[in-house]
Amino acid sequence: MADTAVAAKPIPRARIQAMKEYHPPLGSRDALRLDFNENTLACSPKVREALGRISAGALTRYPEREPVEAIVAAHLVLAAAQVALTNGVDEAIHVLFETFLEEGDELLLPVPTYTMYEVYASATDARVVAVQAADDLRFPFERLLDAITPRTKIIAIANPNSPSGSVASQGQLIEIAKRAPQAVVLVDEAYFHFHGETVIDLIGEVPNLIVARTFSKAYGLAGLRLGLLAGPVELMRWVRRVLSPYSVNSLALACLPPALEDTAYLDWYVNEVLAARLEFEAALDAARLRRWPSRANFILVDIGPQHAQFVRLMRAADVLVRDRSSDSGCDGRVRITIGTREQMRQAILALNQAVAELNLGGRAQ
């Protein structure tokens, strides 16, 4: 009895034991943050005011998400039953995968793409089927269609995609949904505001389409953890069974309506980033570095074999950028978030210095 008590220990599921650990490089980020595609400045001052108005008494209550879901749904011209708020899009992905993926199912992913799809899929019994983009990193539409099988259960498409910044057209997304009626087509519009095109207006019309949106990027609320899923009522009903009723906390819920209302702030920030992206593209071209066309608030740049030294030199100049070398098909590539024009001028100085020091010019040839 005593022996078995000593030998016995809790063992996680085999799937969990096989999972890779994922540690985003979040340490020591007191610098210009061009590494996580966040808003690099601040959220709306209206959100800040709403936070200041929260009473100690209000925090004693469990958060009530439904009234805020109704506000968000109205903002998106959807019905409340079509929208579920989540603790960031990461929770949305996790819950969606838990809801739909089982043994024998396939998750279809164009790659390279957002890391967490694979992380959450690896906790399920489904198989990931990765469809590699060509060297131009454009959305691999035809190859994705060819990879659909009767076992395809979810197709996850970040649009715009990270780290490439490439996009799929509305027509392509509709065709994919049509060709895989047995699958949920998740269109992750985390970077929607910088692109301006959406398929959210097709919710309900395309029976297997679910759209994700985040408040972590343009809205500048990554620390609050706010995201959403929008989809047909029937599918959302299943999602809600898995979703915790309290995963979106009351601070986040209080901040959401003012964030949505302050469209002037959002427009200002997005326009600032788009102007800065143009300037930064010109600087990359002048430095003769290869870059991929981006419709988001970041640009993927080919640095080549010295990618790690480049990231270190940028950090030494107080500019954080993200090495994406370990992403599929991205060896030697670094992703740089776009902030304001003033911030990007600082980044350009650091970039030019690193390019000179490492003798990188001419990789675009």
Ligand X SMILES: Cc1ncc(COP(=O)(O)O)c(C=O)c1O
Position 192 contacts ligand X (CB under 6 A): no
Q: Which of 319, 281, 306 is nearest to 358 (CA)?
A: 306
Position 227 contacts ligand X (CB under 6 A): yes
DSSP state of 311: H
Q: Taking the chain, what is the end-to-end CA distance rounded to the nearest angstrom? A: 71
Rounded to a whole number of angstroms, the minimum distance from the CB of residue 139 to ligand X is 13
Report the distance separating Cα 20 and Cα 251, nearest Å: 32
Position 216 contacts ligand X (CB under 6 A): yes
From residue 141 to residue 180, the character string flagging contacts with ligand X as x (rule: CB under 6 A) and all else as - is -----------------x---x------------------
Residue 177: phi and psi, rounded to 5, are -60, -40
Position 337 contacts ligand X (CB under 6 A): no
Report the distance separating Cα 29 and Cα 31, nearest Å: 6
**List of residues 6+ apart from 167 with CB closer than 8 A:** 139, 159, 160, 161, 195, 197, 295
- Residue 227 or 232: the one with the smaller Cβ distance to ligand X is 227
Stretch that binds ligand X, among 85-93, 192-200, 278-286, 302-310 (CB under 6 A): 85-93
Position 88 contacts ligand X (CB under 6 A): yes
Rounded to a whole number of angstroms, the minimum distance from the CB of residue 252 to ligand X is 11
**List of residues 6+ apart from 160 with CB closer than 8 A:** 166, 167, 191, 194, 195, 294, 295, 296
Size of interface with ligand X, in residues (CB under 6 A): 13
Position 190 contacts ligand X (CB under 6 A): yes
Q: State both tokens at 305.
A: 């074999």
Stretch that binds ligand X, among 50-58, 83-91, 133-141, 247-255 (CB under 6 A): 83-91
Rounded to a whole number of angstroms, the minimum distance from the CB of residue 162 to ligand X is 4
CB atoms within 10 A of CB 340: 16
- Residue 269 or 355: the one with the smaller Cβ distance to ligand X is 269
Stretch that binds ligand X, among 82-90, 135-143, 310-318, 331-339 (CB under 6 A): 82-90
CB atoms within 10 A of CB 236: 21
Position 323 contacts ligand X (CB under 6 A): no
Given a contact cutoff of 8 angstroms between Cβ atoms, the answer to whether 320 and 314 are in contact is yes
Rounded to a whole number of angstroms, the minimum distance from the CB of residue 218 to ligand X is 11
Residues lying near ligand X in the complex (CB under 6 A) = 37, 88-90, 114, 158, 162, 188, 190, 214, 216, 222, 227
